[in-house]
Structures are given as structure tokens and as C-alpha cells.
Amino acid sequence: MARDLVDQQIISSRDELVSWLEDGCKPEGPFRIGTEHEKIPFYRADCSPLPYESSPKLGRDGVRALLEGLGVASGWERIEDSGALIGLYDQTGGGAISLEPGGQFELSGAPLDDVHQTRDELDAHFAALAPIRERLGVDFLDLGMSPLWRRDETPVMPKQRYRIMARYMPKVGRLGLDMMFRTSTVQTNIDFASEADMIGKMRLALSLQPLFTALFANSPFTDGKPNGFLSMRSQIWTDTDPNRTGMLPFVFEPGMGFERYVDYALDAPMYFVKRGDHYHDVAGASFRDLLVGKLPQLPGELATISDWANHLSTIFPEVRLKRYMEMRGADVGPRAHILGFTALCAGLFYDRDASAAAWELVKNFDAQDRDELRKAVPREGLAAKIRGRNLQDLARDILPMAHAGLMRRNRLDYAGRDETQYLAALEEIAATGETLAQKRLALFHAAWKQSVLPAFRECVF
């Protein structure tokens, strides 16, 4: 999320929270698609991470200078936290730049009509960054986890919400700080027409999320060596905070709807309450108490719309519901993989026939199936099995469905090509069974001579 909201409209009932989610329905369309990706910056000179201000060793500016330069190039509005520049916002299009806790540089793309526009947005972003990164001597890793630096070597960005989270995370899981400071993801956001449409899309998305994790597995290195996983980023989420992560089995139960998701979100502990520019640490508190003015840390303070929107942004299931739906299961990868994820979701979720065909493949999975698959995928990738069938076989079935869905969408670019072109990288993975993580592990053991340092030349945007 690029910035926390400050809308101070008071809300006092669960029904108002439900209505806020319902207002995300787009019964008349148009359905748009949004793409968010994170990337880890480093100095080319010594493969060290960028601090916020500057590197004492290299005498070069850090992350703040990246933001300053990009702000000048784009004309986007500054986002500040206690006087520190921590992001940029496009008031016209809705896109944003933000900083993750360890300096991961995130583009939160605008809601767009098709994958061609996502491609243009992504290319424009890197074109704007090019002169700034050259001046600073900076590149960006296209890996899902920083491969070299220990957690204590990773910079910390000056954002109040992250200080609150960093204090709380070790109380509820062993790997939450690794999630915050050392991982990078790509995320696709989709719209829904109605409550029924939301339910159908959420059930399909959760059923396929382990497949998405396997296809995009790209975080096999930690602390300078293989970590034993194809997607360590995905594994980290299994030991972060059980109260706000996971596969949401209730989504598949009778009675699922906006009300049920609101109840789930209300049961997830809060991190903070923002008033003005200040973040009040209420980590572990209940949003239900804030609704009735009985939050122990802020007695008498009542919940606002912005409190609710901000709280929803601090819940991290594999698929997250806001006024749109977020697919959160993929490691970041190169440009082709970012666009591939957007195209895969557009083809599957925005074509009725593709959605129905995909659901036929997964509708009989039960909660235990999905949970066991989720646990197996970070280590096994496409070799992980569900009901005796491996995910590579499922990928070979699902990708043609997405391909057909994109063909029926028939969204053409300036050269007359449809969106199926963006599935090529995924179709190769499905055909060979070899993920990006496996390719890079092979390089580590051969051409890289068991060093991750070559990744800082070969695994960059």
C-alpha cells in the first residue's frame, strides 16, 4: 500500500464496514486490472543495500535520492512521514511509489484496462528510473528475496507503521521480520461485479494460489547460499502471524460473503491508529473496541473509514479482499514474469468460460488438500502434488484456459497483438517444469561457482 488514508468519517457499526466493501462491486464494469511489484535496490560498486540517506562507505546517495529524482521526473505528489519522503502518488492516474521496510522499491500500478497498458506503465517506470539509477550507481534485483545480506545488514526505512510492526512481529512468528525486510513480491489486483462474483473469484483464487507460487518461485537464496526452498518468500509467510495470514478456509464454507470477511478482519489484531501524521501503536488491540470507543490505548477514540481501510491493508492472507481482490502468492521476477502474472489473472478471472473451466479442476479440493499443498509448494514447487497429481500437470491445464480467455478478450496493442503474448514465459515453465528458482540454483552450482555475487549482475531489472 502506497500511503495510509486519513478520511475521518466516523463509523460505528459492523454494517458500515460491510457496506464499505460492498461499494467495491462494479456491476456495470469496467473491470480493470492493477499490478504491484517490489524490487530490491543495491549499489553496483559493492553489491551492498541502499540505506535511506546515503552510504558512508561509498559516499553515494540512497533510497531518498531515488524518490527525489523520480518525483522530479514524474511530477507525482510527495508522500511524507514525519518529514521524511517515503513515497510518491499520481493524483491523476492512481499509481504510486512506496518503500517497503527494508528499502524494497514498490510500484503500485494504476487500475488499467489491459495488460498492454500494464506493459507501458512498467516500461515508463523503468525509463524514468534509468538516469537516476545511473547517476547513483544503483540496480534492482529481480529476486523474491535478498540473496546475500543478513537481516541485521538490511537498512530500515523511516516509516512509523514499520517501527510498530517490527516491534510486534517477533511476538507472533519467527520469520515476520524477514518478510518485512528481505522479501519482494508481484501482486495482481482484480475487480468483482457482485458479492456472488467476489465469492466465486476468491474461491478460485485461493485454490490456485499454490500454483501461482510454484510458477513464480524465485527466492532460493538466503545469506549467500541456497536456503533449501524454491520460494523462501512463500515459506516465510507460514511463520509470520497466523492471525492475519493463510488460506482462509472459511471462504469455502456456507455463509461466505462480505459480512464473513468483515468478521475475519475484525478478529485480526490491529497494528496502529493514525491520527493526523502520527501513528499510535495499538499492536494486538481489537478493531471491535475501536468501533465502540473502548480501545485501551486511545479511550474514547472512534473508528473512521480510514482506520478500516488501513486495517485491511495490515491483513496478509494469500488472497486479500478490499474493494478489489489481491493475488498475493507470487515472488517477483523479471519483466516477463510480472506481465505474465497480470495476463494469467486477466485470462482466468475476466473470462467466464475460463473461470468455469478452471473451477472444474479445483472445485473438489477440500481444506486439507489446499493446506497441505500450500505447505509443500515453497520447497517442492511444481513437483508438489494434490490428490496424486503434481502442479506441473495442473499448470499445463490451466495455462491454455487463460490463453483462451485472453484470446476471447481480444484486447489488441498498437501492433495488433493480443494479450496472449505475455503468457510465453509461464507456458515455457509449465512445459519444462523448470522454474526460475531452479534455473538460478543450477547457475549457482555451475557457472556462478557456488557464489550468489553473480546474481547482482545477472538477476537484475
Round the average pLDDT of the chain to a whole number and report it.
96
**Cβ atoms of residues 333 and 218 within 8 Å:** yes
Q: Using CA atoms, how far apart are residues 342 and 172, in angstroms rounded to an integer?
A: 32
**Cβ atoms of residues 317 and 371 within 8 Å:** no
Q: 14-458: what CATH class?
A: alpha beta
pLDDT of residue 304: 96
Pairing of strands 245-246, 316-317: parallel
Residue 451 backbone phi and psi in degrees, to 5:
-130, 145
Q: What 3-state class would DSSP assign to 101?
A: coil
By percentage, how much of the chain surpasses pLDDT 70? Answer: 98
By percentage, how much of the chain surpasses pLDDT 90? Answer: 96
DSSP string, 406-435: HHHHT---TTS--GGGGGHHHHHHHHH---
Counting Cα atoms < 13 Å in the Cβ hemisphere of 427 gives 12
Q: Is 363 left (phi over 0), alpha (psi -120 to 50) or beta?
A: alpha
Q: Using CA atoms, how far apart are residues 184 and 268, in angstroms rounded to an integer?
A: 23
Evaluate the omega torsion of the peptide bond into residue 30 and state whether it is cis, within 30 degrees of 0. yes
Q: Using CA atoms, how far apart are residues 288 and 14, in angstroms rounded to an integer?
A: 9
Q: Which residues contact 248 (CB under 8 A, 6 or more apart)?
A: 202, 206, 264, 317, 318, 319
Residue 4 has pLDDT above 70, yes or no: no
Per-residue burial over 409-437, b = 16 or more CB atoms within 10 Å of its CB, e = otherwise: bebeeeeeebbbbbbebbbebbeebebbb
pLDDT of residue 57: 87
Question: Could you tell me the maximum CA-CA distance found in the chain, to the nearest angstrom?
Answer: 63
pLDDT of residue 309: 96
Per-residue pLDDT reduced to its tens digit, 363-414: 999 999 999 999 999 999 999 999 999 999 999 999 999 999 999 999 999 9
pLDDT of residue 7: 66
Per-residue pLDDT reduced to its tens digit, 307-349: 999 999 999 999 999 999 999 999 999 999 999 999 999 999 9
Per-residue pLDDT reduced to its tens digit, 145-163: 999 999 999 999 999 999 9
Planar angle of CA 206, 304, 187, nearest 5 degrees: 30
pLDDT band for 12, please (50, 70, 90 cuts). Answer: confident
How many residues are there in the chain?
461
Distances (CA, A) of 71 to 82, 108, 122, 124: 18, 15, 16, 14
Residue 382 backbone phi and psi in degrees, to 5:
-70, -10
pLDDT band for 8, please (50, 70, 90 cuts). Answer: confident
Q: Which residues contact 448 (CB under 8 A, 6 or more apart)?
A: 454, 455
pLDDT of residue 124: 96
Residue 1 has pLDDT above 50, yes or no: no
Residue 213 has pLDDT above 90, yes or no: yes
